[in-house]
């Protein structure tokens, strides 16, 4: 009875091995314990031995092929015995090119991007890939020659191909080697053709973005691809804001008041405007509009780790002092990194302020499923027509409102922005300021 | 049609020409004055022969400290000059032989560029694929009233003095000024050095230059730093100190050692629009000027003003012409000041590292840790300073003060050139007893 011989699993993490060389040909007699083929993993060369005596009836792979572990590589038996049933099926893990040296599938550090590094070579379908041992050799020595012809089947690059080239190529200096071990990469074009690869030929490793950055990136892309956002700019007289601010600074207000800043005042006005124009205080999810009775306002915080948007809950009818206090607490927690998860979600509207950097207008990006976000800009002088018909310069604060046109048309958006302006201009009469 | 015409036969030009010849390039070398350039004729070599005599003379006087009594040692300046000339002519012949061996055609005439591929050499117009300008530098003449008085000599003139003046004032405390000051002092003159900057050898690491300053003062040389020479009248030199107070000093011989300026005149550079500034012809790290096919190396480019740097720059340019990629790096080019004690350095100074914000470790070890140093230098002192990267331990700078250090600074340069880390150096064996063991100990102290 014919017996299949399968690719052994040589190590826990090995998913496939390279069939380096057939030592027996189809039709040749083989005795038990004789070596049929040589197998390479990235760690060593192994010999595939015959488990019994017989004739090599069929081989299913060629030398140079990467063979999944446990796949049948050949069949032993008596001449004439059927063997087709042992042929690996299409559904089996496909033979063929080894996984590319793509770091995601092999958990290896990505190889340095030397000129036409085999990373690229292996990844592109028309370039031969590296055998597992060759890959390991290359990785350990940071050695990635360009334009090398492999002597394995299909041009696959074997360790011996690299070895030969290695002994004729520039090597990293001791310092360069230490830097390469630390993830530095060889620049496209080494500065000298021969001799040493030196530290000046290397560039520092590309910085991997943090999980937080990754999350922000994804959310921003999603926002832009899932909404129809547009931004409108306007400005409001900041005379009231500034007057209030200077009274607070001068300590003219009651001791119990926190040090309310311009941003907090604008946020307060936005809440008041949302109370009046509730169309913007909605969520738009899967083609449905969800109205919420409460107003939960997110505010963008620049923290050492990146953008964080804490949410102040239940802002409706909050007094300005109370609102400011809540904002300050959340902002502190956000920058310390101690903010609770539940304080980071569930907003119905967002305010973001770049005015402190002197920004005059920008395009805030929506925080879906929210449908609007208000950007606060710098305060600057603006010429306005005075009562007597002359031109006066009045301090104005810039406002940039982004809305999702899927839900909010231009007019209601503009109406909201106008309301915010009115609230800002009337700030001093809006709340009972203790004296 | 030549593959290369080199203008100037200093260490930049003649080595480049020989290298080009070796690579099979058809090469012509034009020299208007002397084969070997400044270095061989009026620079490195003649000053060192002078300094050798000076050293021998002072050793004779201090020989008793070694148990040898020498009475009646006498200085013979004419014989010193004679020996210098002999050494120079031996070496010049050596250079001529080198050029001949490499089939370089040598023309003793001034050369001038006509266009990118055309050079006027004497009364001939020659075509060349490449032109290498290696015309060197000459002594600077600072705008000091009276700098043209007959008592003022530059380094070239000093080398032909047949008598040692009683009093010598050296304007400039750079390496040329210091070497000449040391020479005159040892030969018996009363010497004053006038330096405008707050310290002498100002390019050196401060730990080295401050010790060199002490050694000079101890020996009896008068050093005036932060001192500005305002006027020279006959033998009188008027100066201002850093407080703005005026003072005067007198000397029979006033040495102008205020630096060197590139030789860029009469070469046709302006006509061809080749980029240059006060420091010299501008070149990139491969020696290319702004005009394709025209290259420059050495002092005329104003980069390092050292003979071995000129040579390396020339070789880089020739390699590039021949299609071998190369580039000049200065990190591992050593420099030496042949004073007594001598200074030998390579790499960054501590001040430079601080300015770069580079994190480093350092070791400062007295030369006396090496037995041989004590043997050779009765009463002498010196230090080895090593600077290495804080993280990887790569050697960033080695600065030494002490006699014989010039002979082994190359070991440090080699380590830096190969980008060895302190950890890699541990396996290097230093012969015992040599002064170089002080370097080894300084390196190990960082490890
Ligand atoms: C007193 C003194 C001591 C020194 N000591 C040292 C030392 O110890 N170590 C060290 O490394 N360096 C020393 N130097 C510096 C060293 O001499 C120079 O760095 C070196 O000579 C520069 O070489 P170069 O080839 O660029 O130019 P140079 O050696 O100056 O040669 C240039 C040549 O070009 C020729 N030339 C110029 N114009 C033309 C033209 N139009 N046509 C034809 N030929 C022309 C000149 O005649 C000259 O021969 C010293 C210099 C001086 C002055």
Q: What is the ipTM of this complex?
A: 0.81
Beta-strand pair B27-30/B2-7: parallel
Strand order in the sheet with B395-401: B335-337, B343-347, B395-401, B383-389, B360-366
* CATH no., domain A212-430: 3.30.559.10
**Is residue B194 included in any domain, yes or no?**
yes
Q: Clarify whether residues B247 and B350 are in a common domain.
A: no
Question: Containing domain of residue B373, as a range?
Answer: 331-446
Cβ distance A175 to B324 less than 8 Å, yes or no, reads no
Q: Clarify whether residues B169 and B129 are in a common domain.
A: no
E strand or H helix that includes residue B439: helix B437-446
Question: Chain A 143-202, CB below 8 Å of chain B: which residues?
Answer: 173-176, 178-179, 191-194, 196, 198-200
The confidence score (pLDDT) of residue A252 equals: 64
Chain A touched by B326 (CB under 8 Å): yes
Contacts of B418 in chain A (CB under 8 A): 173-174, 196
Nearest by CB: B421 against A174, A193, A200: A174
Contacts of A193 in chain B (CB under 8 A): 324-326
**Is residue B145 included in any domain, yes or no?**
no
**Which residue's alpha carbon is nearest to atom 37 within ligand 1?**
B135
Sequential pLDDT tens for chain B (447 residues) = 999 999 999 999 999 999 999 999 999 999 999 999 999 999 999 999 999 999 999 999 999 999 999 999 999 999 999 999 999 999 999 999 999 999 999 999 999 999 989 999 999 999 999 999 999 999 999 999 999 999 999 999 999 999 999 999 999 999 999 999 999 999 999 999 999 999 999 999 999 999 999 999 999 999 999 999 999 999 999 999 989 999 999 999 999 999 999 999 999 999 999 999 999 999 999 999 999 999 999 999 999 999 999 999 999 999 999 988 888 989 899 999 999 999 999 999 999 999 999 999 999 999 999 999 999 999 888 999 999 999 999 999 999 999 999 999 999 999 999 999 999 998 899 999 999 999 999 999 998
Q: Clarify whether residues B308 and B354 are in a common domain.
A: no
Report pLDDT digits (tens) over A282-326. Answer: 999 989 999 988 999 999 998 887 888 999 999 988 889 899 999
Chain A touched by B61 (CB under 8 Å): no
Residue B437 belongs to a domain with what CATH number?
3.30.390.30
What ligand 1 atom has the least distance to the C-alpha of B301? 26
Contacts of A199 in chain B (CB under 8 A): 394, 419
E strand or H helix that includes residue A275: helix A262-276
Give the span between the Cα atoms of A269 and A275, in whole angstroms.
Answer: 10
Domains in chain B, number: 3
Q: Clarify whether residues B176 and B284 are in a common domain.
A: no
Structure tokens belonging to residue A137: 């050799």
Which of B419, B420, B423, B425 to mutate against chain A (most A CBs within 10 Å)? B419
Size of interface A-B (CB pairs under 8 A): 34
Q: Is B432 a catalytic residue?
A: yes
Write down the mean pLDDT value for chain A: 83
Contacts of B158 (CB under 8 A, 6+ apart): B180, B253, B255
Report the chain A residue with the minimal C-alpha distance to residue B425. Answer: A174
Structure tokens belonging to residue B34: 């002397």
Where do you find CATH 2.40.50.100 in chain A?
3-91+113-119
**Is residue B435 included in any domain, yes or no?**
yes
B313 lines ligand 1 (CB under 6 A): no
**Which residue's alpha carbon is nearest to atom 35 within ligand 1?**
B8
Chain A touched by B418 (CB under 8 Å): yes
The residue out of B328, B353, B378 marking a domain boundary is: B328
Q: Clarify whether residues B336 and B384 are in a common domain.
A: yes
Chain A touched by B327 (CB under 8 Å): yes
* CATH no., domain A3-91+113-119: 2.40.50.100
Closest listed residue to residue B254, CA positions, set B270, B239, B272, B268: B239
Q: Clarify whether residues B120 and B202 are in a common domain.
A: no
Q: Residue A106: pLDDT above 50?
A: no
Inter-helix orientation angle B44-62/B77-101, to 10°: 140
Between A162 and B335, where is the model more confident? B335
Q: What is the average per-residue pLDDT within A258-282?
A: 93
Q: Clarify whether residues B122 and B180 are in a common domain.
A: no
The confidence score (pLDDT) of residue B2 equals: 97
**Which residue's alpha carbon is nearest to atom 20 within ligand 1?**
B307
**Which residue's alpha carbon is nearest to atom 2 within ligand 1?**
B43
The alpha helices in A127-207, defined as continuous H runs, are 132-141, 159-166, 174-181
**Is residue B146 included in any domain, yes or no?**
no
Residue A183 Cα, gap to closest chain B Cα (Å): 14
The residue out of B258, B291, B314 marking a domain boundary is: B258
Q: Clarify whether residues B228 and B156 are in a common domain.
A: yes
Q: Clarify whether residues B304 and B425 are in a common domain.
A: no
Cβ distance A176 to B325 less than 8 Å, yes or no, reads no
Give the span between the Cα atoms of B437 and B430, in whole angstroms.
Answer: 6
**Confidence band for A200, pLDDT divided at 50, 70 and 90:** confident
Cβ distance B418 to A176 less than 8 Å, yes or no, reads no
Cβ distance B327 to A192 less than 8 Å, yes or no, reads yes
């Amino acid at each position: 009875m014919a017996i299949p011989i399968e690719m052994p699993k040589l190590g826990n993490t090995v998913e496939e091995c390279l069939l380096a060389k057939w030592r027996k040909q189809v039709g040749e007699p083989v005795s038990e314990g004789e070596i049929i083929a040589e197998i390479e993993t990235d760690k060593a060369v192994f010999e595939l031995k015959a488990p019994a005596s017989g004739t090599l009836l069929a081989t299913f792979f060629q030398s140079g092929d990467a063979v999944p572990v446990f796949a049948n590589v050949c069949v032993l038996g008596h001449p004439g015995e059927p063997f087709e049933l042992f042929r690996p099926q299409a559904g089996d893990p496909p033979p063929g090119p080894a996984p590319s040296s793509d770091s995601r599938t092999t958990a290896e550090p990505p190889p340095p991007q030397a000129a036409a590094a085999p990373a690229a070579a292996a990844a592109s379908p028309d370039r031969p890939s590296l055998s597992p041992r060759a890959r390991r050799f290359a990785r350990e020595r940071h050695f990635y020659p360009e334009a090398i012809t492999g002597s394995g089947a299909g041009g696959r690059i074997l360790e011996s191909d690299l070895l030969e080239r290695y002994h004729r190529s520039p090597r990293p200096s001791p310092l360069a080697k230490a830097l390469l071990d630390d993830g530095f990469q060889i620049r496209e074009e080494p500065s000298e053709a021969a001799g040493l690869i030196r530290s000046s030929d290397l560039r520092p490793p590309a910085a991997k973005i943090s999980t937080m950055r990754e999350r922000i990136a994804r959310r921003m892309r999603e926002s832009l691809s899932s909404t129809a956002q547009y931004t409108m700019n306007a400005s409001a007289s900041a005379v009231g804001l500034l007057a209030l601010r200077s009274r607070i600074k001068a300590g003219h207000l009651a001791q119990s008041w926190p040090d309310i800043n311009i941003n907090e005042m604008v946020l307060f006005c936005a809440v008041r405007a949302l109370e009046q124009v509730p169309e913007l205080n909605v969520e738009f999810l899967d083609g449905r509009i969800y109205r919420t009775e409460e107003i939960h306002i997110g505010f963008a915080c620049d923290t050492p780790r990146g953008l964080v948007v804490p949410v102040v809950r239940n802002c409706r009818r909050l007094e300005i002092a109370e609102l400011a206090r809540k904002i300050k607490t959340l902002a502190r927690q956000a920058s310390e990194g101690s903010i609770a998860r539940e304080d980071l979600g569930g907003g119905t509207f967002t305010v973001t302020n770049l005015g402190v950097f002197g920004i005059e207008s920008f395009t805030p990006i929506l925080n879906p499923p929210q449908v609007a976000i208000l950007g606060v800009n710098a305060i600057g002088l603006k010429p306005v027509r005075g009562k007597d018909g002359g031109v006066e310069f009045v301090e104005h604060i810039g406002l940039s409102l982004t809305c999702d046109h899927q839900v909010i048309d231009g007019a209601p958006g503009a109406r909201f922005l106008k309301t915010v302006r009115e609230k800002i201009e009337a700030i001093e009469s809006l709340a009972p300021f203790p004296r | 049609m030549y593959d290369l015409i080199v203008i100037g036969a200093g260490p930049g030009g003649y080595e480049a020409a020989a290298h080009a010849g070796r690579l099979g390039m058809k090469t012509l070398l034009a020299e208007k004055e002397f084969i070997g350039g400044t270095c061989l004729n009026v620079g490195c070599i003649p000053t060192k022969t002078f300094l050798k005599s000076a050293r021998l003379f002072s050793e004779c006087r201090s020989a008793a400290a070694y148990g040898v009594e020498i009475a009646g040692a006498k200085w013979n300046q004419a014989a010193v000059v004679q020996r210098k000339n002999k050494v120079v002519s031996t070496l010049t012949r050596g250079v001529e032989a080198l050029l001949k061996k490499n089939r370089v055609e040598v023309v003793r005439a001034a050369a001038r560029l006509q266009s990118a591929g055309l050079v006027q050499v004497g009364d001939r117009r020659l075509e060349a694929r490449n032109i290498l300008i290696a015309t060197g530098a000459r002594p600077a003449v600072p705008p000091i009233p009276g700098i043209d008085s007959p008592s003022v000599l530059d380094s070239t003139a000093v080398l032909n003095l047949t008598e040692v003046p009683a009093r010598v004032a050296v304007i400039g405390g750079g390496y040329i000024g210091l070497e000449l000051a040391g020479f005159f002092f040892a030969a018996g003159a009363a010497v004053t050095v006038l330096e405008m900057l707050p310290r002498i050898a100002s390019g050196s690491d401060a730990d080295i230059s401050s010790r060199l300053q002490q050694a000079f003062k101890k020996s009896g040389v008068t050093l005036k730093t932060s001192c500005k020479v305002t006027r020279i009248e006959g033998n009188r030199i008027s100066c201002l100190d850093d407080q703005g107070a005026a003072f005067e000093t007198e000397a029979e011989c006033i040495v102008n050692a205020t630096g060197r300026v590139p030789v860029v005149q009469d070469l046709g550079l302006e006509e061809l629009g080749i980029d240059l500034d006060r420091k010299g012809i501008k070149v990139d790290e491969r020696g290319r000027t702004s005009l394709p096919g025209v290259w420059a190396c050495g002092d005329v480019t104003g980069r390092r003003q050292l003979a071995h740097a000129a040579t390396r720059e020339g070789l880089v340019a020739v390699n590039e012409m021949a299609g071998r990629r190369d580039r000049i790096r200065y990190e591992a080019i050593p420099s030496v000041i042949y004073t007594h004690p001598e200074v030998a350095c390579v790499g960054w100074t501590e001040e430079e590292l601080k300015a770069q914000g580079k994190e480093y470790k350092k070791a400062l070890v007295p030369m006396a840790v090496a037995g041989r140093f004590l043997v050779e230098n009765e009463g002498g002192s010196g230090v080895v300073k090593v600077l290495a990267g804080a993280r990887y331990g790569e050697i960033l700078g080695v600065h030494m003060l002490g006699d014989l250090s010039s002979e082994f600074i190359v070991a440090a340069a080699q380590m830096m050139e190969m980008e060895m880390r302190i950890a890699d150096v541990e396996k290097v064996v230093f012969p015992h007893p040599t002064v170089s063991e002080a370097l080894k100990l300084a390196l190990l102290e960082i490890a």
